Amino acid sequence: MKFTAAAKLFILFGDPVAHSLSPVMQNAALQAAGIDGLYIPWRVQSAGLPAAFESLRGMENFGGANVTVPHKEQAFALVDTLTPEAAAVGAVNTVVARDGHLLGANTDGLGFLRSLHEEADFLPRGKPCVILGAGGAARAVAVSLAEAGAEPLIIVNRTVERARSLAEFVYRKIGTSTTGLALDDPQMPATVRECALVVNTTSVGLNPADHPPIDPSLLQSGALVYDLIYRPRETALLREAKRRGCRVIGGLGMLLYQGALAFELWTGHKPSEAAMRHALVTAVA
Ligand code: ATR
């Protein structure tokens, strides 16, 4: 990797960040584009995030930033302006320097929708979809599916209060019929059987020994099963779904597309997605 003392600095804020594949992916994109720049992880606790953001305002060679777990919602409150996507989700995963201001964007939802479209030719409009989990990732997925016309949306979560609160958020923001259910709700099995898309946004599956987050016998052949997890590339959920004749997608595409959109916001140019994908696939292997 080559850069000079005049290099632009691109930063990933998170805690932890050491596991992230964004540095390898974005540095590959910078290099392929011949940009004198460097993308580095900056591990920071929540209490330090305001000062970290303040330091960006005075950094003449600031190129752009990403924000990951657990700071996306806090970052929303620390930027000066928001893109419509970030405003709708209530979270920021990308920061862009614009005329001395910090613009907060969120590319997670568009990255997810593009991945659905390109990897499975899946158009959400009018389709019933189930989202497993009710955290930050679920929020981005739920808002993007609702905006793309999916209906009804069912949010299934271990902690039912979080599922209900996200369902209410989506209904209030977009008007999509959305229900929050507990994992052990008696209505849950029938709901999952009838849906066209099941998206796992929980952390269940990150450990290769994890069982699927729901009983895989509920997955009907023909449904599309999407796991946001990209390492391992095939979670138990995807393995079981495939065995039952479902189409499956892992999280690498969403990671790539949200990163490509962020790169374009920072630089004004489309990155080499081939270089980014190659870097990701090599790193995951
Ligand atoms: P993120 O921002 O990545 O979505 P998060 O806000 O911590 O992370 O959300 C993690 C999600 O995984 C939550 O929906 C969580 O369920 P709870 O709301 O009940 O905590 C879910 N999750 C984590 N571990 C789980 C487990 N062992 N079984 C079921 N769900 C789990």
130 with 91, same domain?
A: no
Pocket probe mutation, ligand 1, options 74, 203, 227, 255, max atoms within 8 Å of Cβ: 203
Q: What is the pLDDT of residue 2?
A: 84
- Identify any residues that bridge with 11 across adjacent strands, giving them in sequence order: 40, 65
Q: What does the pLDDT read at residue 206?
A: 93
**In the chain, % of residues over pLDDT 70:** 100
Q: Provide long-range contacts, Cβ within 8 A and 24+ apart, for 166-173.
A: 166/134, 166/138, 166/139, 166/142, 169/90, 169/139, 170/142, 170/143, 170/146, 173/88, 173/143, 173/146
Are 99 and 20 in a shared domain?
yes
Residue ranges lining ligand 1, Cβ < 6 Å: 69, 133-138, 157-159, 162, 201-204, 213
Q: Reply yes or no on whether the pLDDT at 1 is more than 80.
A: no
Query: pLDDT tens-digit profile of 28-53?
Result: 999 999 999 999 999 999 999 999 99
Q: Residue 138: which H helix or E strand, with range?
A: helix 136-147
Residues 92 and 220 in one domain: no
Any domain includes 259? yes
Band the pLDDT of 70: cuts 50, 70, 90: very high
* 202 vs 214: CA distance, rounded Å: 11
Q: Indicate which atom in ligand 1 lies nearest the CA of residue 138.
A: 4
Same domain, 82 and 45: yes
Is a pLDDT exceeding 90 seen at residue 55?
A: yes
User: What pLDDT, on the 0 to 100 scale, is given for residue 100?
Assistant: 83
Residue nearest (by alpha carbon) to ligand 1 atom 31: 202
Together in a domain, 240 and 116: yes
Number of domains in the chain: 2
Residue 140 structural domain? 109-250
Residue 264 lies in a domain: yes
* Tokens linked to 62: 């600031």
Which helix (H) or strand (E) segment holds residue 49: the answer is helix 49-57
Q: How many CB atoms within 10 Å of residue 83?
A: 18
Residues 74 and 127 in one domain: no
CA–centroid distance, residue 134 to ligand 1 (Å): 7
Are 17 and 129 in a shared domain?
no
Yes or no: say if 260 and 276 are a contact pair by the CB < 8 Å rule. Answer: yes
Structure confidence by residue, pLDDT tens digits, 155-174: 999 999 999 999 999 999 99
Residues 262 and 130 in one domain: no
Q: Using the predicted structure, report yes or no on whether residue 251 has a pLDDT greater than 90.
A: yes
* CB atoms closer than 10 angstroms to residue 210: 16
If DSSP codes are grouped into helix, strand and coil, which group holds residue 164? helix
pLDDT in tens, 196-247: 999 999 999 999 999 999 999 999 999 999 999 999 999 999 999 999 999 9
Is 199 a domain residue? yes
Would 1 be classed as within a structural domain?
no
CATH number at 113 reads 3.40.50.720
* Catalytic site positions: 72
- The per-residue pLDDT for 130 is 98
Q: Alpha-carbon distance 210 to 282, whole Å?
A: 24
Whole-number Å distance, alpha carbon 135 to ligand 1 midpoint, is: 6
In the chain, the percentage of residues whose pLDDT exceeds 90 is 97
CA-72 nearest atom, ligand 1: 2
Give the Å distance between the CA of 44 and the centre of ligand 1: 21
Residue 3 lies in a domain: no
